[in-house]
Amino acid sequence: MIDHPEETYDPAAAFWAAARGGRRTTNEEPAFESLERLPGNVALELQRTGSGTPPRVHLDLETDDVDAEVARLEALGATVQSRHDTWAVLTDPGGLVFCVVPVWTDQADFDRHATTWGGLT
């Protein structure tokens, strides 16, 4: 996920689309756009963040059980920064921000590539 505030979003999004050689695709939520998938089915997303927020890159970890994955990551040393209806923002032990989100890609792709931890996906 490439995050940019409103002030720099449009030129940054245009840059990343051109750098990737792909098209921008609008998502259901206006704050997000997708770029064409990278080899290996890797998604590169663009996120319009709040005014004045710093540009950054962060990972979104997809799971079919957000609460269980957050608990697993906390046990490994992550810290929850905020929880939302369907997703959570965490930091790793070094302070890097990442999100735990429900499955939003193709369910068959998720099922094929998912890693299972102790009986949980």
Domain boundaries, the chain: 1-53, 58-116
Whether 1-53 shares its CATH topology with 58-116 is answered: yes
The answer to whether residue 39 scores a pLDDT higher than 90 is no
For the entire predicted model, the pTM comes to 0.73
CATH architecture, domain defined by 58-116: Roll (3.10)
CA torsion, ordered 78, 33, 49, 54, to nearest 10 deg: 70
Confidence bin at 108 (pLDDT 50/70/90): confident
**pLDDT for residue 121:** 44
State the average pLDDT over residues 66-87. 96
**pLDDT for residue 66:** 96
CATH architecture, domain defined by 1-53: Roll (3.10)
DSSP 120: B
Mean pLDDT score across all residues of the chain: 87
The answer to whether residue 97 scores a pLDDT higher than 70 is yes
State the average pLDDT over residues 38-52. 83
| CA angle in degrees (0–180, nearest 5) for 41-47-49 | 160
> What backbone phi and psi angles, to 5 degrees, belong to 81?
-95, -40
The answer to whether residue 119 scores a pLDDT higher than 70 is no
DSSP 114: P
Confidence bin at 30 (pLDDT 50/70/90): confident
State the average pLDDT over residues 11-24. 88
